[in-house]
A and B are shown apart, each in its own frame.
Chain A
């Protein structure tokens, strides 16, 4: 049963991707105001949704690790694997958002970037989780997971604050707003369908990659545990 799912899911994902691409490029019409370049939205918005979801998963993993690390070590390791996987794949999707966004913005609104609430928050989110990954790389020893979990919580706490403070900043000093009407512009049902297809496709792709990353990390944890035990026995 599990094997069937394991081979079927990637296949379904690829099919969804093809369907999503077809919808985005061939079925959906040009936008009334933005023209052809509006189609970037079908990759940009789903990537953003997946990124935020995965950062949230990473937060849950961090909290779970801190909660379980004394009472149930194995569960804590699982939580930590999710925390890392969520953060890393989230950064990948967030990178996509930060590169497709300016490409869209340049053609649609004439500017590559602006420091409005949404863009700034996305950039800061990216910075926070990249710093999280750097901590995991540079910190040594068994306490690394604990430290990373704490940083993960701090980072997640900061995100709503960044968003709100930037909103206040922009009510005082108005600046161009990116994609302010991208949602209101979706009056055509074909466009909504195209977006939904791509949402589903990118969600499935994301879950696939997330699951793979989680598995790689679990294997790495087990290998590290064996190494640690051998080192302990060798020194005894």
Chain B
């Protein structure tokens, strides 16, 4: 009975962890994209050589 509870607990932890890994991973990916777009914009706003 107790073993069942431990496994249940582990699965809940796994589910919540997976959720946050996916969400925060995507947020990090977005952050990188944001940075690259900012760099692009800066390059374009500089006067043409």
Q: Which A residues have a C-beta under 8 Å from some C-beta of B?
A: 35-37, 39-40, 43-44, 47, 89, 92, 95-96, 99-100, 103-104, 106-107, 205, 209, 212-213, 215-216, 219-220, 222-223, 226-227
Contact = CB atoms under 8 A, between A and B. Distances in A.
B7 A92 contact: no
Contacts of B8: 35-37, 107
Chain B interface size band reads 20 to 34
B5 A35 contact: yes
A219 B22 contact: no
A216 to B, nearest CB: 5
Interface string B1-31: 0001101110110111011001100110010
Nearest to A40: B15
Please classify the interface of chain B as helix (H, G, I), strand (E, B), loop, or mixed, using the class held by over half of its residues.
Answer: helix
Contacts of A223: 37, 40-41, 44
A43 B11 CA distance: 13
Contacts of B9: 36
Contacts of A227: 44
A216 B26 contact: no
Query: What 9 A-B pairs are tightest by C-beta distance, nearest first?
Result: A37-B8, A219-B37, A36-B8, A100-B15, A40-B15, A103-B15, A223-B40, A92-B26, A107-B11
B27 A209 contact: yes
Contacts of B11: 37, 40, 103-104, 106-107
Contacts of A205: 23
Nearest to A92: B26
A47 B19 contact: yes
Contacts of B23: 92, 96, 205, 209
A106 B4 CA distance: 12
24 contacts: A36-B5, A40-B11, A40-B12, A43-B16, A96-B19, A99-B15, A99-B18, A99-B22, A100-B15, A100-B18, A100-B19, A103-B15, A104-B15, A106-B11, A209-B27, A209-B30, A216-B33, A216-B37, A219-B34, A219-B37, A219-B40, A219-B41, A223-B37, A223-B41
